[in-house]
A and B are shown apart, each in its own frame.
Chain A
Amino acid sequence: DVKVTQSSRYLVKRTGEKVFLECVQDMDHENMFWYRQDPGLGLRLIYFSYDVKMKEKGDIPEGYSVSREKKERFSLILESASTNQTSMYLCASSLSLQSNQPQHFGDGTRLSIL
């Protein structure tokens, strides 16, 4: 089975801090994704990556950056955390560039910015 592991289930940080959310997948998947999930808004794509060192903006990239130095690891960075970034963050991976591939998700990180 595919395993997508997010480093923290719960995280509390302060406004202005630089925050790193880590995600690792163990199935040699090409694509990795970061979403945020908010009540009433569903899942919104922040960034995705289709290869090492390659990244593309999703629907809501403002205030975020990403890093993919190794194929198995995709990091989401909040450069200067703000209270409106309090949310559930979900990482996902998928096998290839074909659009029929399902995405496999981690357990999520519930981030609170105080």
Chain B
Amino acid sequence: AQKVTQAQTEISVVEKEDVTLDCVYETRDTTYYLFWYKQPPSGELVFLIRRNSFDEQNEISGRYSWNFQKSTSSFNFTITASQVVDSAVYFCALSDPTNQAGTALIFGKGTTLSVSS
């Protein structure tokens, strides 16, 4: 069965620290997609990144970087030099091609990141 595990429930850091959010997934499929979303206190989930199962290149976008390792079924997210505005709940998600629409996502339970000044 498809499953996404975010083992870290809450993380607290001080501004300018680097922080890594872990995501481990399970799937039987050979083709799948992984996503990260950010949910700030305002409530709206914001799409951050999509990665397909054939592309294991790491990606960097400003202070954000993602490390996809198929061998360990992990898709970890690192924020460099964290800022207070990074405080949010972060969700990792896996596409579920087994359902009829093929687009439903399976979400992890989220990691709450608190960055203090």
Chain A residues whose C-beta falls within 8 Å of the C-beta of B25 in the assembled complex: none
Chain A residues whose C-beta falls within 8 Å of the C-beta of B110 in the assembled complex: 42
Of residues 92 through 114 on chain A, the ones whose CB sits less than 8 Å from some CB of chain B are: 92, 94, 96-108, 110
Of residues 9 through 28 on chain A, the ones whose CB sits less than 8 Å from some CB of chain B are: 9
Picked from A9, A41, A50, the residue with its CB within 8 Å of the CB of B101 is A50
Which of A41, A45, A96 counts the most chain B CB atoms within 10 A? A45
Task: Evaluate contact between A58 and B104: CB separation under 8 angstroms.
Answer: yes
Q: Is the interface of B mostly helix, strand, loop or mixed?
A: loop
Specify the chain B residue showing the minimal Cβ separation from A107.
B44
Task: Evaluate contact between B91 and A99: CB separation under 8 angstroms.
Answer: no
Contact with B along A20-40 (1 / 0, CB 8 A): 000000000001010000001
Given A99-B96, A105-B44, A108-B44, A42-B103 contact (CB < 8 Å): no
Given A31-B103, A42-B110, A102-B44 contact (CB < 8 Å): no
Specify the chain B residue showing the minimal Cβ separation from A58.
B104
Given A33-B104, A42-B109, A42-B110, A100-B99 contact (CB < 8 Å): no
Of residues 85 through 108 on chain B, the ones whose CB sits less than 8 Å from some CB of chain A are: 91, 95-97, 99-105, 107-108
Which 3 A-B pairs rank lowest in CB-CB distance, beginning with the nearest? A42-B109, A105-B45, A99-B95
Give chain B's interface residues, CB within 8 Å of chain A.
9, 32-33, 35, 37, 42-47, 50, 52, 91, 95-97, 99-105, 107-110
The contact sample of 24 A-B pairs, CB cut-off 8 A, is A31-B101, A31-B103, A33-B104, A40-B9, A42-B91, A42-B107, A42-B109, A42-B110, A43-B107, A48-B103, A50-B101, A56-B101, A58-B104, A88-B43, A96-B103, A97-B101, A100-B95, A102-B35, A102-B50, A105-B37, A106-B44, A107-B44, A108-B44, A110-B43
